[in-house]
């Protein structure tokens, strides 16, 4: 890999970057210590939603070899939209609230350790997921997971100001509030030539979920399939039990939970059931979810 072609894209609103650009400056110094030159023209802060994808498209068009994402899982997801299926490699300096991708792939959090990995060109090729509308009018990649129902409703109700102050605590508060009022209305989900009813489902490309949960224990980002975890309880108390059990990946032994490897799945409903990808609300059912095998190279 030609390491003279490097671009840094960072989200100044991400958790560890809100206080200033010190972490970015540490990364630049670390890269330079490994003889990887970086100048101001190669460093791009995002200002609005969609900027990270646009900046990455421009970097790929300019034959950039490596894009370094500095931010949370949402920023990384935006950047990945323009990298999947290209020859450009992704590197990640975690800087968000949960940093699930960093946990899943055991990515370094220290700029010096990341710069060393880059200089050694230590990379892996991973698969990603893709969500799309049945009529192909819209599609989007996800690296970690797609959530249908409950978790998307929680994300929908998180207060942005509380998120800045409380971080993960804001999701706990929103989760308890949502669970108390959330309508337990089912949708259908089809996979492996079977149809199931669900009140909540996760289509996982990674084992880790949010900050603490192991929602799909057998998921691996380097395999050529996804994993689906389907919940069909009508009990709010049972969902609290699921949350506790999933801290240890033990929810999958429940008779009301289905956990299977899949290549694709289709979910549909007659009501407005929301969907989130990598922690960002993206729309509502119906949607198709499928694996895009071996489609992204990442420094890890």
The CATH fold of domain 6-121: Rossmann fold (3.40.50)
Please give the model's pTM, rounded to 2 decimal places: 0.91
CA distance 270 to 247: 32
Looking at the predicted structure, is the pLDDT value of residue 244 above 70?
Answer: yes
CA distance 39 to 71: 20
**What percentage of the chain reaches a pLDDT higher than 90?**
69
The CATH fold of domain 129-294: Tumour Suppressor Smad4 (2.60.200)
User: What backbone torsions phi and psi does residue 101 show, to the nearest 5 degrees?
Assistant: -60, -40
Domain boundaries, the chain: 6-121, 129-294
Looking at the predicted structure, is the pLDDT value of residue 2 above 60?
Answer: no
Looking at the predicted structure, is the pLDDT value of residue 162 above 50?
Answer: no
Q: Which tens digit of pLDDT belongs to each residue from 73-89?
A: 999 999 999 999 999 99
pLDDT of the residue at 1: 52
**What percentage of the chain reaches a pLDDT higher than 70?**
90
Give the N- to C-terminal CA distance of the chain in Å, as an integer.
Answer: 15
Looking at the predicted structure, is the pLDDT value of residue 171 above 60?
Answer: no
Is 181 exposed, middle or buried, given 0-12, 13-18 or 19+ CB atoms closer than 10 A?
exposed
């Amino acid at each position: 890999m030609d390491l003279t072609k490097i671009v840094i894209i960072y989200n100044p609103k991400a958790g560890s970057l809100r206080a200033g650009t010190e972490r970015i400056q540490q990364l630049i110094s670390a890269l330079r210590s490994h003889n990887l030159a970086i100048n101001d023209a190669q460093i791009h802060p995002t200002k609005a939603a969609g900027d990270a994808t646009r900046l990455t498209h421009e970097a790929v068009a300019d034959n950039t070899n490596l894009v370094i994402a500095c931010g949370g899982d949402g920023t990384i997801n935006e950047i990945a939209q323009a990298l999947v299926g290209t020859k450009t490699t992704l590197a990640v300096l975690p800087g968000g609230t949960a940093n699930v991708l960093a946990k899943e792939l055991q990515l370094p959090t220290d700029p010096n350790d990341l710069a060393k990995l880059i200089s050694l060109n230590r990379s892996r090729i991973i698969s990603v997921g893709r969500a799309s509308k049945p009529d192909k009018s819209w599609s989007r990649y996800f690296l970690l997971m797609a959530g249908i129902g409950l978790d998307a409703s929680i994300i929908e109700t998180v207060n942005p100001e509380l998120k800045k102050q409380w971080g993960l605590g804001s999701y706990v508060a929103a989760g308890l509030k949502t669970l108390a009022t959330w309508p337990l209305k089912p949708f259908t989900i089809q996979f492996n030539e079977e149809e199931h009813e669900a009140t909540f489902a996760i289509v996982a490309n990674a084992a880790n979920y949010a900050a603490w949960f192991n929602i799909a224990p057998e998921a691996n980002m380097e395999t050529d399939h996804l994993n689906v975890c389907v919940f069909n309880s009508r009990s709010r108390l049972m969902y609290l039990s699921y949350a506790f059990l999933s801290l240890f990946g033990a929810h999958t032994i429940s008779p009301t939970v289905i956990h299977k490897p899949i290549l694709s799945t289709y979910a549909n409903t007659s009501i407005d059931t929301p969907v989130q990808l990598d922690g960002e609300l993206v729309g509502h059912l119906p949607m198709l979810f499928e694996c895009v095998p071996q489609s992204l190279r990442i420094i890890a």
